[in-house]
Amino acid sequence: MKYHGQHVPFGVGPIPKLVGFPKGKIRIRQRNDDFVTIFIRRKHRFLVTVPIVHNGNWYYCPSLNSARNAR
């Protein structure tokens, strides 16, 4: 899926459906003055990413991962 004019959520608001995220425990952090950050704990690694808003849902975009480390 190609995204044109990517929109990244900012601030605090309702959490829509999460689409395409890797399996694992997901924690969502919302702050009034920052972008939404999603933490995904997997079996052997930890991912930190920012979602893309498309059609009212939040989509996973691997190119927006800000941290990836092995456990």
The model's pLDDT over 6-36, given as tens digits with 9 standing for 90+, comes to 788 999 999 999 999 999 999 999 999 999 9
Q: In this structure, what DSSP letter does residue 10 have?
A: B
What's the rounded Cα separation, in Å, for the pair 50 and 4? 16
Is residue 54 a contact partner of residue 15, using CB atoms and an 8 Å limit? no
**pLDDT digit string (tens) for 34-53?**
999 999 998 888 899 999 99
Token output for 59: 């989509």
Integer Cα distance of 33 and 38 in angstroms: 16
